[in-house]
Amino acid sequence: MAFTPERVTGETPERRAAARLDGLAWNASGVVGGSAALLTAVGPLLDGLRGVRWLVRRRVPSGVPGAHQSRRRGTAVEFTEYRPYRQGDDPKGLDWKLLARTDRAYLRLTDDHAVSPTTILLDASASMAFPAPTLDKWRAALALALGLSAVAHAAGDPVALAVAAPTTAVRLPPRTRRGVVADVAASLSGVVPGASPSLVDALPDPRPGGGGRLVVISDFLGVPTDAGDASLLARAAVAVAAGTEVVAVHVVAREELDPSGPAIVATDPEDPSIRRPLLPAVRATYVAAFAAWRDAVRADWQRAGASYVMVVTDESVERAVRRIARGA
Amino acid sequence: MTFLAPWYLLGAAAVAGATLVLHLLVTRLPPGMPWPTARFVPQGPAAVRRLHRRPVHPWVLLARLVAVLAVGAAFAGPVLAGGRSPRVRVVVADRSRAVGDSRAVIDSVRTLDGRGPVVPLAALVLLDDSSRVVTGPAITDSLERLRIGERRGRISAGLIAGIRAAARWRDRADSIELVVVSPLRADEIDAATDSIRARWPGAIRLVRVAPRADPAGAGATVRWPDDGHPPTAVARATVDTVGGLIAGSIVVIAPFVRRWALDAPGARVVARWVDGAPAAVERPVGRDGCVRDVAVALPTTGDVGVRPEVRRLVAALTATPCGAAIGAPAGGDPTTGMVGTSATAGTIRAAAARALEPASAASRSPLAAWLLAVGAASLLAESWLRRGAATPAT
């Protein structure tokens, strides 16, 4: 039997169409039908992501018990290993029975598990509302945000949301309770991409103790690369240094990668002064320049210590979430 | 329907073709579209020029083409006259005594077309001292029965008849060719020939046939004693000296001693002294003969006798047939003024023939005015349609 992605992931064309939120429509106040419509549309995607584990790649600081391995040797009942006692160790960790039998002082070590607060930073700038009739980039970004929220919430992690929206930044504090995904959907259903909001301004303050996870979902077209310490990359680098796992999810439309339509005058929605003719004769040059820029963006994020994942709009969102969860 | 100036129609067709190409050649700005990655598109001219396979605004194009073609057709001079021939021929055939052989005339008329297209013969003018116009089916029989007579030929009469015959065909033909088949001897040309020839605005095709081989001065008895005393001359009261002599186009300037005066009432003066007195006269004798008395005593001293003009004078007075003009006309060749210099190689337009007679109702076709009106209406419609077009073209 031939290999097909459907056999591996269980995807069907219907599920892929649902994951792309094909049934949604937008008006000036957001998704037509509100969060209920958004949740209904994203339902098949959440069903497909059930059971997906999204473990952090670095040990998390100690805290509320969770699914991620903590940097602290904890007091859990699950034995891991012995270690000879050193001066200064807490005597409570001594294995008294072993000391009584062998007269050797050993500490009984156990792994500590903690939660990893996950913050999703979503770019809602005008460049995400592309292509104009279908808003495929924004649909993909919404599906990714909801899917990652659901996966993180399934692991018991607190999920926070920050949206760089055109009017006012949308923020949802970290929550672990039931219904977090619905809260995220409710917050996102009222957002209409537009203008050129700053991702840095929407970025929540770092946790005092570091750790956690920050997922930036954006096309990075409005992110300046030479803004010094105030740039998103600089903030990401600081967060990485503080122990936060940063994931840059680059959303790219298929039309941006392969503009095969008729000749147009391309206008930058975030900077109307940029008006250039996208003719068949210059498409090769455009494709090469765009590819070079994507490579530079990936290198920048990786240099800052972040993970970089590019998601094209015609890719299955479910598969993209699994890729992100695997760290690929 | 035919056109008097079809090159206007060809020009209009060329302009219409250019209009069509320019209409299909569209330069326009592509539609604007939000494109987040526009910054990666290289800078360049935004206008796109391409040749469409289908017209962008077909009604505008149609209005333009109709306007151009209608105006061109109007300037081309459309004539709604049915049954017009593109070209006809009127032949003036000489059958006078000047012609050597009648078969030469007949064959010349029959071979006028040469290798070119056959041009119908509209009228045949038989020329001698009078002219007879033959038209219709009788032309063939008349040409076949053409015989050379003994009458003197008069080109002027033949030209008048030929021009009138051509004028009758002006409404039935686009082009009329006037052909004169004649040896065109000097005695067939008179003083009115040039003015009659000038009435034909185009060129006349001249086909010369061999003249009758008459002996020099045949029929003329020249009485020219050395002392210049012919029998009919009388002694002058006083002998004088005159400075020159004029015979036709021959002028001799020399000191002539004038001893005798010619008294010949009714005789034709063929040479005069410079003061107007007759120096030589010609008197008809019999049917075709004549007696030519010359009262000129050529100087016996000096070189007057060997001067070219004197030799020409002697030859003209002794060798010119009866009734013929003494001395060749100016230019030497009598055909020079006959043929003309039209660039159309012997053809004229029917429009030129119209100058000979008042125009008839058939030539005043209202079609040109209507075509101009159609062109103007099309231009107005084009302006209105162009304003209504959604996007500017060309």
Give dist(CA A42, CA A20) in Å, integer.
Answer: 8
Q: What is the mean pLDDT of residues B280-309?
A: 81
Structural domain span for residue A13: 4-58+116-326
What are the start-end ranges of the H helices in chain A? Answer: 5-9, 13-19, 34-48, 96-102, 136-154, 180-189, 199-202, 232-241, 254-257, 283-303, 317-326
A206 occurs within a structural domain: yes
Q: How sure is the predictor about B347, in pLDDT bands with cuts at 50, 70 and 90?
A: very low
Does B357 have pLDDT greater than 50? no
Determine the Cα–Cα distance for residues B1 and A87; give it in Å rounded to an integer: 126
**How close A327 gets to chain B, by Cα (Å)?**
27
**Interchain CB contact of B49 with A (< 8 Å):** no
CB B170 within 8 A of CB B357: yes
CA atoms within a 13 Å half-sphere pointing along the CA-CB vector of B323: 20
Q: Do A289 and B42 touch (CB under 8 A)?
A: yes
Sheet of strand A271-278: strand arrangement: A271-278, A264-268, B32-34
Residue A14 has a pLDDT of 65
Contact between chains at A289 and B40 (C-beta distance less than 8 A): yes
Q: Are residues A189 and A77 in the same domain?
A: no
Percent of the residues in chain A that have a pLDDT greater than 90, as a whole number: 16
Note the pLDDT of residue A229. Answer: 54
State mean pLDDT over A97-113. 86
Band of residue B345 on the pLDDT scale cut at 50, 70, 90: very low
- pLDDT band at residue B352, thresholds of 50, 70 and 90? very low
- Amino acid (one-letter) located at A256: E
Tokens of B329: 């006309």
Answer whether A215's CB lies under 8 Å from A119's CB: yes
Residue B353 has pLDDT above 50, yes or no: no
Assess A268–B contact: CB distance below 8 Å, yes or no. Answer: yes
Q: Which residues of B touch A219 (CB under 8 A)?
A: 36
What residues contact B61, with CB distance under 8 A and at least 6 apart? B19, B20, B23, B55
Domain-terminating residue out of A49, A84, A114:
A114
Task: Say if residue B82's pLDDT is above 80.
Answer: no
Instruction: Flag whether pLDDT at B218 surpasses 80.
Output: no
| Percent of residues, chain B, with pLDDT higher than 90 | 13
Q: Which of B31, B36, B42 sits opposite A282 (nearest CB)?
A: B42
pLDDT averaged over chain B? 80
Average pLDDT (B222-238) is 84
- Any idea which of A123-127, B13-17, B71-75, B79-83 has the lowest mean pLDDT? B79-83
Closest Cα in chain B to A290: B40
Report the C-alpha gap between A21 and A130 in whole angstroms.
15
Give yes or no for residue B358 having a pLDDT over 80.
no
Q: Is residue A151, in this structure, part of any structural domain at all?
A: yes
Whether residue A233 is contained in a domain is answered as: yes
Lowest mean pLDDT among B3-12, B106-115, B373-382, B383-392: B383-392
Does residue B32 sit at the A interface (CB-CB below 8 Å)?
Answer: yes
pLDDT at residue B377 greater than cutoff 70: yes
DSSP secondary structure, A133-191, as one string: TT-HHHHHHHHHHHHHHHHHHHTT--EEEEEE-SSS-EEEEEE-STTHHHHHHHHHHT-
Tell me the C-alpha to C-alpha distance, in Å, between residue A195 and each of A70, A297, B38, B274.
41, 22, 16, 114
Task: With CB atoms and an 8 Å threshold, state whether A265 touches B33.
Answer: yes
Q: Between B29, B42, B46, which is nearest A285 by CB?
A: B42
Give the total number of structural domains in chain A: 2
pLDDT per residue as tens digits for the range A227-271: 555 688 888 888 888 888 899 999 999 988 888 878 888 888 888
In a domain, A63, yes or no: no
The rounded percent of chain A whose pLDDT value lies above 70 is 83
Q: Is B31 on the interface with A (CB under 8 A)?
A: yes
Q: Do A302 and A227 lie in a common domain?
A: yes
Report the C-alpha gap between A212 and A204 in whole angstroms. 12
Residues A105 and A204 occupy one common structural domain: no
Provide, as residue numbers in chain A, all residues whose Cβ is less than 8 Å from the Cβ of B39.
221, 268, 271, 274
B390–chain A nearest CA distance, Å: 18
Q: Which of A132, A277, A289 minimises the CB distance to B30?
A: A277
On chain A, the residues whose CB falls within 8 A of the CB of B46 are 265, 275-277
Query: Do A23 and A148 reside in the same domain of the chain?
Result: yes
Asked if B46 is an interface residue toward chain A (Cβ–Cβ < 8 A), one would say: yes
- Whether A164 maps to a domain, the answer reads yes
What confidence tens digit (pLDDT) does each residue in A112-152 have? Answer: 777 778 899 999 888 988 888 788 899 899 999 999 999 98
Range of lowest pLDDT (A28-32, A107-111, A128-132, B379-383): A28-32
Q: Please report, for residues A14, A39, A132, the alpha-carbon distance to residue A23 in angstroms, rounded to integers and kept in the order given.
A: 11, 11, 16
**Whether the predicted model's global pTM rises above the 0.80 cut:** no
Range with lowest mean pLDDT among B8-17, B44-53, B283-292, B314-323: B44-53
pLDDT of amino acid A251? 93
pLDDT at B376: 93
pLDDT at B68: 93
Give yes or no for A19 touching B (CB within 8 A). Answer: no
Indicate yes or no: CB of B40 within 8 angstroms of CB of A269.
no
Q: Parallel, antiparallel, or unpaired for β B2-3 and A307-312?
A: unpaired
Whether A263 and B30 lie within 8 Å, measured CB to CB: yes
pLDDT of residue A12: 66
- Asked if residue A125 and residue A101 are part of one domain, the reply reads no
Interface touch A279/B42, C-beta < 8 Å: no
**Are residues B44 and A127, on separate chains, in Cβ contact within 8 Å?**
no
Q: How confident is the model at residue A9 (pLDDT cuts 50, 70, 90)?
A: low
Contact A311, A251 (CB under 8 A): yes
Question: Which residues from B are below 8 Å from A277, CB to CB?
Answer: 30, 41, 44-46, 48
Residues A166, A290, single domain; the answer is: yes
Residue carrying the six token digits 């969102």: A317
B29, B32, B42: residue with CB nearest A267: B32
| Same domain (yes/no): A22, A97 | no
Name residue B284's beta-bridge partners. Answer: B290
Arithmetic mean of pLDDT over chain A: 81
A260: contact with B, CB 8 A cutoff: no
For residue A260, the domain's CATH number is: 3.40.50.410
Residue at A64 is within a domain:
no
Chain A neighbors of B33, CB-CB under 8 A: 132, 264-267
Q: How many CB atoms lie within 10 A of CB A219?
A: 22
Whether B276 has its CB under 8 Å from any CB of chain A: the answer is no
**Complex prediction ipTM:** 0.79
| Residue A263 touches chain B, beta carbons under 8 Å | yes
Q: Cβ separation of A265 and B48 shorter than 8 Å?
A: no
Domain boundary among A94, A114, A134: A114
Candidate from A12-21, B94-103, B263-272 with smallest mean pLDDT: A12-21
Say whether both A270 and A146 belong to one domain.
yes
Let me know whether A178 and A267 are in one domain. Answer: yes
φ and ψ at residue A120, rounded to 5 degrees: -110, 120
What pLDDT is stored for residue A71 in this prediction? 64
- Number of residue pairs across A and B with CB atoms under 8 Å? 93
Q: What is the pLDDT of residues A11-35, one digit of tens each?
A: 666 666 666 676 777 776 777 777 7
pLDDT value of residue B79: 74
- Using CB atoms, which residue from B34, B39, B44 is nearest to A277? B44
Are the Cβ atoms of A285 and B45 closer than 8 angstroms? no
Q: Do B35 and A286 touch (CB under 8 A)?
A: no
Q: Tell me, yes or no, whether A106 lies in a domain.
A: yes
| Residue A272 shares a structural domain with residue A282 | yes
Nearest-Cα residue of chain A relative to residue B33: A266
Sort out which chain B residues have CB atoms less than 8 A from A264's CB and list them: 30-33, 35
Tokens 């740039």 correspond to what residue?
A231
Across the interface, of A132, A262, A265, the residue whose CB is closest to B29 is A265
- Residue A276 to residue B43, Cβ atoms within 8 A: yes
Dihedral angle computed from the Cα positions of residues B266, B267, B269 and B272, in that order, rounded to the nearest 10 degrees: -80
pLDDT band for B64, please (50, 70, 90 cuts): very high
How high is the pLDDT of residue B349? 41
Substitution target in A136, A220, A267, A276 with the highest count of B β-carbons within 10 Å is A276
Binary contact (A126, B34; C-beta < 8 A): yes
Statement to judge: residues A100 and A120 lie in one domain: no
A266 to B48: CB separation less than 8 angstroms, yes or no = no
Residue A157: pLDDT band with limits 50, 70, 90: confident
Indicate whether A139 and A287 sit together in one domain: yes
Task: Name the closest residue on chain B to residue A196, using Cα atoms.
Answer: B36
In this structure, is residue A102 part of a structural domain? yes
